[in-house]
Structure 1
Amino acid sequence: MKKAALLLLPLFVSGCIPIVFPIKNPADDRPNVYGRWRITEIAGQRPATQDMMLAVNSTNTGFSVDSECLKLSGHHAVAEKNGIIFGKIQTVQNRCTGSGSEQQLATALHGVKSYRLHKHSVELYDIEGRTVAVAQRLSAERLTGHGDLKSVPTFASARHAK
């Protein structure tokens, strides 16, 4: 009787405690545009500052651009076949002077219609296929772009910090 109880005990315990085996989702391995990127080119020109960051959020439709010179925020929509659009773009802070490529970024982002991913970079294109911007994935990000965007300063917090 004790042997039968000991043999049946694991069956009863396993019935009460579910055992979960994670199943890998193949979509998690596909590179995507979400995550944090360092902008290295705008309309064929290098930005005046090398600290210009683009954050494309995967949990909502927000995006932001942040540098010592410029802060933008807005919404994005990603479509199939590498389609992406940026809209409702607001310049939260603009300390840039002159007519550098940073000044053109908000206008350029309005024209973005698609993107092409490379191993560690993304190119943004307008409807005619011209390169609008190029960015490098930050080294701390995984290739799939599911990085922690909590560390990206939000523009709402930037406004309240003043």
Structure 2
Amino acid sequence: MDTLGPAPGAGMTGPVTTGKVAGAPRDPATPAEGAWKRGRGCLLVLALTAAPALAEIGVSLPSGLDVTLHEVLTDDAENGSLFRFRFVAPEIAQAQRSVEELTDDMQHLCQEFALPKLSDLGAEPRQIVVSLSAEITDFGVPTPDVRQVFEAFSVRDDVCIWEPF
């Protein structure tokens, strides 16, 4: 995966990263069909990358938990199919919050935070994965000593629909 955005220390705390998880590499100059064909995917990545306010937003959740957006990742920038919104929630390291309570919070983050941000930028996601982590972790690197919770949501008719793993 490639990280797009300003150099470290340039005031951006949450880069957008793109890359393909599976499949043959493609020439980024030849985008896939759909909205991304007309360059909207490039604009989306630039808009998310260039918006420090988005990366620095703190969000209060229905449970009372406070979280901060760490980064937004996409595995398929050409088609915009999957976006990962990774949030940091230091309280989950000590607080004994139930999985159900955290799932409700992640539903709220998908519906009330991620989906509107992507919609404002013209993205049409098929799936949004929301994660909460007690501290910043590297994506894809096992960190068993850090509590992390993930939920996946499909998107239909501007609604986040929980999808069990």
State the TM bucket, normalised to the shorter chain.
under 0.3
Q: TM-score, normalised to structure 1's length?
A: 0.27
Greater relative contact order (CA < 8 Å, ≥ 6 in sequence)? 1
Q: TM-score, normalised to structure 2's length?
A: 0.26
